[in-house]
């Protein structure tokens, strides 16, 4: 059985899936990521916080869309561990 | 007679409260506009009327020209005060106000546009005899063009966005390889931040000081300065501490600087209160950096040393009244210091939104311009600055002593703030001696939590 783990944002703010509007998505659902890879960005008070995967795995699903608000501790994506 | 019947404030936080205060004093009604995130904010309660303009994100509320104009019409406001930030330096907004016959409390949209274009601003200032940072006033057409200009000027240089400002969209380049490397990314950043990829080059001034001059100009040819503000203590190119007058100017240099600022403002037929920012090198040479065509965050230190109300002056000028002030009337009455309280980690400077469980500042011997009150939520959507602490003394030593006293008695709980950093600055010998540059924070401080 595969183990699923939440990737959550430690800060509240606005969630983005790209580094800037013109750039590509950090990753797609179904992509394999390594621990330390950035999967999203949270804008908080004009600063940006990178959300990183803490483990190697496959990004199962994103719970939050670009431009949506997140609370501190809220899961933004689900990772299936390798 | 009041200058206006009803003023809409297209801003939030401490500056909205500050504007309401002067309007109340003058018998002018106020209209606040607020996003969903600011429903419970003090400025919303303090205004005579309040209009919700949408979701929390600034792009959906405080930056929406259409919603703000609509709110002004619905409330029959005859003027709009833009505060600072948001739409305050947006020429399209100023123009829209004019088209709708609502007075924009600021300069004309043409002047905002002119000073917002840093290349044009440099040209205008040079024309007026104002020294500008040595550099290239033209548009850099390509990387190759930039390299040839840079070779002529000599490194190190600052590569800057013409539509930029406030420390955003610039990069230090030390050599040709560095310039080639950063040129595309700075151009791209300039395009995405400011909608304009035009870049220019300026000589890099090492370890500088930032000193700015407050100018006040009416529609009848009167122009005065309210002296300077020293703003060198910054973190990430943003100011933390400001004081007036600057501890590092001689009387002669002060006069020369302030007169130069007036000369520049007159040359563009500036009308409103405005700030001419200068950069000083180690040999006391000063150069024009940019002009802020609005009320400045740090305006309280100028108010404290001159006894003038800058918001009142803005209203008066916008109402086309004659400025009944001569330069001789304006005297420096003492020394003022302002410290900005940020909701952020004092070491990493990372923001810290959350609930203000406790917010205590003594009320004697201090002016507090705060966005929030105890129990309020500091939301993640806007600037982390939550308040300004201002002290005034007959001299600098007294202003510092009062600041020290206020900070020692202050307490903030629930979120992280830079209060420990502010306390440390007051005790720093370099600060006390008034000998500091923009490198102050990185060179001299080690904050302990």
* Residue appearing with tokens 């919303």: B44
- What was the pLDDT predicted at B271? 97
ipTM of model? 0.86
- Map out the domains of chain A with their CATH numbers: 4-81 (2.40.50.100)
Cross-chain Cβ contact B382/A45 below 8 Å:
yes
B46: how many CB neighbours lie within 10 A of its CB?
15
Q: What residues in chain B have per-residue pLDDT under 70?
A: 1, 166, 445-449
Residues 6+ apart with CB under 8 A from B433: none
Nearest to B380 among A13, A22, A67 (CB): A13
DSSP string, B132-200: B-SEE-S---SHHHHHHHHHHH-SSEEEEEEEEETTEEEEEE-SHHHHHHHHHHHHHHHHHHHS---EE
**Bridge-based pairing state of the strands B79-81 and B103-104:** parallel
Nearest to A45 among B188, B192, B384 (CB): B384
Q: Return the active site residues of B.
A: 294
State the nearest Cα–Cα gap between B245 and chain A, in angstroms. Answer: 30
* Residue appearing with tokens 């503000």: B229
Do A16 and A41 meet the contact criterion of CB atoms below 8 Å apart? yes
Give the Cα separation of B305 and B122 in Å (integer): 30
Where does residue A45 fall: left (phi above 0), alpha (psi -120 to 50 degrees), or beta otherwise? left
- Map out the domains of chain B with their CATH numbers: 6-105 (3.40.50.20), 134-203 (3.30.1490.20), 209-444 (3.30.470.20)
Compare all CA atoms of chain A with the CA of B188 and give the residue at the minimum distance: A22
- For an interface test with B, give the residue of A9, A19, A23, A45 to mutate (most B CBs within 10 A): A45
> Chain A, 8-47: which have a CB under 8 Å from a chain B CB?
11-14, 20-22, 43-47
Do B385 and B340 meet the contact criterion of CB atoms below 8 Å apart? yes
B345 touches A at CB < 8 Å: no
Q: Write phi, then psi, for B48 (nearest 5 degrees).
A: -70, -35
Residues 6+ apart with CB under 8 A from B141: none
State the nearest Cα–Cα gap between B192 and chain A, in angstroms. Answer: 8
State the nearest Cα–Cα gap between A82 and chain B, in angstroms. Answer: 32
B156 touches A at CB < 8 Å: no
Residues of B whose CB is below 8 A from A13: 353, 380-381
B284: how many CB neighbours lie within 10 A of its CB?
12
Give the Cα separation of A58 and A31 in Å (integer): 6
Which residue in B10, B25, B8 sits closest to B294, CA to CA? B10
Compare all CA atoms of chain A with the CA of B378 and give the residue at the minimum distance: A45
Handedness of CA B184, B189, B190, B196 (dihedral sign): positive
Residues of B whose CB is below 8 A from A46: 351, 382-384
Angle at CA of residue B83, ends B81 and B88, nearest 5°: 90
Q: What is the mean pLDDT of residues A49-63?
A: 95
Give the Cα separation of B386 and B405 in Å (integer): 20
Do A35 and A53 meet the contact criterion of CB atoms below 8 Å apart? yes
* Residue appearing with tokens 């006293």: B405
- For an interface test with A, give the residue of B190, B349, B380, B418 to mutate (most A CBs within 10 A): B380
Nearest to B192 among A14, A20, A46 (CB): A20
B351 touches A at CB < 8 Å: yes
Q: Write phi, then psi, for B398 (nearest 5 degrees).
A: -70, -40
B56 touches A at CB < 8 Å: yes
pLDDT beyond 60 at A82 = yes
- For an interface test with A, give the residue of B351, B383, B416 to mutate (most A CBs within 10 A): B351
Where does residue B116 fall: left (phi above 0), alpha (psi -120 to 50 degrees), or beta otherwise? alpha
B127 three-state secondary structure:
helix
Cross-chain Cβ contact A11/B383 below 8 Å:
no
Nearest to A47 among B188, B192, B350 (CB): B350
Compare all CA atoms of chain A with the CA of B386 and give the residue at the minimum distance: A45
């Amino acid at each position: 059985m595969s183990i699923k783990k939440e990737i959550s944002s430690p800060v509240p703010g606005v969630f983005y899936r790209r580094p800037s509007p013109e750039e590509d998505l950090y990753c797609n659902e179904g992509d394999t990521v390594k621990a330390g890879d950035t999967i999203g960005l949270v804008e908080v008070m004009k600063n940006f916080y990178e959300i990183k995967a803490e483990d190697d795995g496959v990004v199962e699903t994103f719970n939050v869309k670009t431009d949506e608000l997140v609370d501190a501790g809220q899961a933004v994506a689900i990772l299936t561990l390798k | 007679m009041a200058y206006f019947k009803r003023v809409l404030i297209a801003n939030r936080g401490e500056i909205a409260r500050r504007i309401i205060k002067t309007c109340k004093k003058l018998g002018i009604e106020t209209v606040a506009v607020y996003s969903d995130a600011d429903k419970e904010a003090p400025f919303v309660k303090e205004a005579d009327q309040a209009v919700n303009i949408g979701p929390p994100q600034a792009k959906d509320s405080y930056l929406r020209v259409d919603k703000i104009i609509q709110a002004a019409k619905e409330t029959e406001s005859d003027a709009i005060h833009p505060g600072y930030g948001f739409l305050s330096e947006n020429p399209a907004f100023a123009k829209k106000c004019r088209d709708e016959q609502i007075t924009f409390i600021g300069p004309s949209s043409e002047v905002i546009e002119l000073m917002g274009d840093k290349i044009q601003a440099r040209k205008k200032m040079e024309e007026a005899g104002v020294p500008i940072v040595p550099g290239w006033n033209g548009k850099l057409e390509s990387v190759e063009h930039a390299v040839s200009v840079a070779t002529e000027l000599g490194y190190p240089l600052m590569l800057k966005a013409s539509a930029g400002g406030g420390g955003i969209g610039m990069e230090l380049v030390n050599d040709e390889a560095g310039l080639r490397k950063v040129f595309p990314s700075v151009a791209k950043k300039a395009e995405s931040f400011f909608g304009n990829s035009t870049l220019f080059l300026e000589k890099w001034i090492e370890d500088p000081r930032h000193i700015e001059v407050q100018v006040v100009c009416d529609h009848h040819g009167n122009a005065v300065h309210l002296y300077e503000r020293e703003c060198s203590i910054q973190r990430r190119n943003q100011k933390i501490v400001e004081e007036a007058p600057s501890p590092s100017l001689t009387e002669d240099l002060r006069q020369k600087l302030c007169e130069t600022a007036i000369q520049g403002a007159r040359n563009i037929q500036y009308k409103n209160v405005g700030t001419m920012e200068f950069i000083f090198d180690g040999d006391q040479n000063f150069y024009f950096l940019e002009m802020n065509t609005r009320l400045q965050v740090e305006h309280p230190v100028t108010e404290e040393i001159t006894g003038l109300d800058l918001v009142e002056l803005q209203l008066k000028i916008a109402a086309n009244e004659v400025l009944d002030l001569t330069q001789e009337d304006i005297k420096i009455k003492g020394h003022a210091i302002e410290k900005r309280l940020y909701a952020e980690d004092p070491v990493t400077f990372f923001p810290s939104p959350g609930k203000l469980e406790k917010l205590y500042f003594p009320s004697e011997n201090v002016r507090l311009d705060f966005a929030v009150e105890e129990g309020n939520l500091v939301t993640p959507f806007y600037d982390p600055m939550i308040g300004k602490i201002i002290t005034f003394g007959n001299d600098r030593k007294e202003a510092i002593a009062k600041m020290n006293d206020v900070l020692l008695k202050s307490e903030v709980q629930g979120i992280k703030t830079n209060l420990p950093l502010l306390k440390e600055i007051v005790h720093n010998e370099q600060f006390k001696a008034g000998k500091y540059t923009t490198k102050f924070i990185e060179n001299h401080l080690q904050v302990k939590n």
